[in-house]
A and B are shown apart, each in its own frame.
Chain A
Amino acid sequence: MDKGLISSEVERTSLPRFLAWLLPWVLILGCGIWAMKLCLGQGLFHTNMDNRFAFGLWIVLDLIIIALGAGAFFLGFLTYLMKQKEMREVLNTAVIVGFICYSGAIITLAVDIGQPIRFWYAYWHANVHSMLTEVTFCISIYLMVLAIEYIPIILRNRKLKQIPLFLVLEFNLHRIMFLFAGLGTFLSFFHQGSLGGMFGVLNGKPFAFREGFAIWPTTFFLFILSAIASGPSFIMLISMIVSKLSNKRLVSRDVLSRLGRISGILMSVYVIAKLIDTIAWIVVTAPSSGFDVAEFYRNEPFGTWVLFAELTIFGLLPATILLNRNRTRQTKWLVLGGFLTCFGIAFNRFVVTLQSQSVPVLSFDRFMIYWPTWQEWAIVGAVIAYGVILYSLSFRYLPLFPREKDLQAPRRND
């Protein structure tokens, strides 16, 4: 049965080995489901969030995975709209990773909101002025788009494609996929921005507040830029990790290097934009909100090193590495550049979410820090485990890498 589901053109590990790989992830998932049951059934007192830290680890996770999931829309955009055909080599992975990221974010949000059954109020009583409304609309519609993009990949399974109806459906869906790529690009552009805008419009939180262009604070644009910079790097890293674990070449070196260089170019634009934005914030925005910028970085662990690390170690450094054509030809540099880019974006989301709440605004308030409970960690673990399991199943039973067979052929040079 298992063998019959695996494409005849590729080789996969034995079923017992595959199940042994899945087992720890299933346990992590189970632990997270238990934590979800506690939070949904008894209340959010199981977390360490409080009236001051209204947003905690889960919002950090959401912001991170949505940024990293940007590879899905960006590679769709490159493949279908910019006609970069070679990106097809990683497009399936990008779609699945995107689907995992967005569905994972929605699962986390469902636990995070205090009244998850009322989620539909966001559509029914939508407040058009709230950035969160736009995020809700775009993310849920985009998840549907990703599901539609995922279907043709599933229908290419060895057994499923024997059914003529599915074959026709897959063929037709494939022909109109450029439409969904366009729609996905449009939706993603706005919700990636709105996630940044959510924090940038907080005029009551001078650490996060930014002046902007029309209704959009500068964080709107910075979030879009950083997401499209990290998306390709993340897809590149995933492809390399899967390649390593399965001991197979899955994507040509040329495509991996290209993904790295795309990240590098976008990362450099992002770093310049972030630098300008930071200077404007230091000189104009923060003082006009009644703050001396040094105040934001007065308390550890959020000292000045945070700003330095964001701009240099996780900004300038990966941009420099990935912009260099020679370096992107070497695996170690590619991995380092990609990792620093992805970690940097995750670090940025962490800082935006938590530091802006740690820093007191009232002059007679205290600086506070927050540490999540095991339930919060368990749910984060569950989302990661869910992603690993879904991707592993997809890798085993679906033809994800169109050039896999080709790249295994002896003496082939790319």
Chain B
Amino acid sequence: MVIDLDRCTGCGACMVACAVENNLPTPPVEAQDNRGLTWLRVYQCGNGRTFPDFKTVFIPVPCMQCDHAPCIHVCPVTAVDYDTETGIVGQIPERCMGCRYCMAACPYHARTFNWWDPVWPKGMEKSLNPDVSPRMRGTAEKCNFCHGRLHRAREKAASEGRRDLNPGEYIPACVEACPTRAIHFGDLQDSEDPVAKLSKSPHAFRLLESLRTFPKVFYLSRQDWVKDVGKSRLEMLRKDIYRDSESESNG
């Protein structure tokens, strides 16, 4: 996945699409932001300067699907696994015992926990996505690049006698919903794929590269300060980017 931050307007359509696609329950009011069940959060951050030098950027953060995912090797019950075929870090809620070690390990805060029994607005439980099982209280969950959609696409391909998926046949809900086409999805291992090419762009970077988690989500920006903010706090300090200002986040 490649997310073009210069295009993102922070509208939140991706968050809504993700919630509907993946049967995310409605959290109670007390959930506030840190107990929310969003699989994808959009952060807003500024360069810490005042007008007319002020600049802002919106950073959508889904699960990074790291190649060296910190969550996989810590889970005691193998409820997190790495699919070597797709490179997606999977989550098995039926096996999760809720110890939250994976959440403590993830530097991107991509994981959420079911603090409450799941509840949907009255009547909505009848229109849940049948491809995605709802999770129960006491389990950890996270974005899986809409695994349900992948399965559906594979079944369709199989029914048509194909083994491989056509480009664009499987895309996560956030990619489909983004009105500015800021999110691109494809095969990073296929050098001809537009997404693979974008990921090699000189404007591409990954979040917290210094941690060596090797995310499969790349960001694009032509603004150097945005790249530095994304890479690490040290980078940010070195370049004197909003050292004294707190960032804002919503999600």
Q: Write the residues of chain A forming the contact surface with B, with a CB cutoff of 8 angstroms.
A: 43-45, 49-55, 112-116, 118-119, 121-122, 124-127, 129-133, 136, 198, 201-206, 287-292, 295, 357, 360-368
Contact = CB atoms under 8 A, between A and B. Distances in A.
B235 A114 contact: no
A202 B107 CA distance: 9
Nearest to A119: B97
How big is chain B's contact interface, by range? 35 or more
B78 A127 contact: yes
Given A115-B139, A130-B75, A290-B233, A205 B113 contact: no
Contacts of A364: 43, 45, 59, 229, 247, 249
Interface stretch (B125-133, B168-176, B203-211): B203-211
Main secondary structure of the interface of B (DSSP, over half): loop
B233 A55 contact: no
A122 B138 contact: no
A53 B113 CA distance: 11
Nearest to B94: A118
Nearest to A40: B138
Contacts of B229: 363-364
In the A-B complex, the 4 residue pairs with the smallest Cβ-Cβ separation, listed nearest first, are: A114-B98, A114-B138, A290-B232, A290-B210
A119 B98 CA distance: 9
Give the residue among B72, B74, B137, B212 with the most A Cβ atoms within 10 A. Answer: B74
A201 B212 contact: no
B70 A202 contact: yes
Interface of B: 28, 30, 34-36, 43, 45, 59, 61, 68, 70, 72-79, 95-101, 103-109, 111-117, 137-140, 207-213, 229-237, 246-247, 249
B63 to A, nearest CB: 13
A126 B211 contact: no
Contacts of B208: 204, 290, 361-362
A43 B138 CA distance: 7
Give the residue among A124, A364, A366 with the most B Cβ atoms within 10 A. Answer: A364
B113 A54 contact: yes
Nearest to A202: B105
Contacts of B100: 49, 54-55, 114
B97 A122 contact: yes
A122 B209 CA distance: 32
A131 B140 CA distance: 19
A53 B78 CA distance: 22
Given A44-B113, A52-B34, A290-B209, 4 more contacts: A127-B75, A291-B210, A292-B237, A363-B232
22 contacts: A45-B35, A50-B113, A51-B111, A55-B104, A113-B98, A113-B99, A114-B114, A121-B79, A122-B77, A122-B97, A124-B77, A127-B76, A127-B77, A132-B101, A204-B106, A289-B210, A290-B232, A290-B235, A362-B107, A362-B207, A365-B249, A368-B34
Give the residue among A202, A204, A287 with the most B Cβ atoms within 10 A. Answer: A204
B76 A132 contact: yes
A114 B137 contact: yes
A240 to B, nearest CB: 37
A362 B233 CA distance: 7
A45 B116 contact: yes
Contact of B137 (A43, A204, A368): A43
Contacts of A130: 73-76, 101
A136 B99 CA distance: 11
B213 A203 contact: yes
A43 B72 CA distance: 25
Nearest to A131: B74
Given A50-B34, A287-B234, A204 B211 contact: yes
Contacts of B113: 44, 50-51, 54, 114
A136 B101 CA distance: 13
Nearest to A359: B233
Nearest to B71: A204
A249 to B, nearest CB: 45
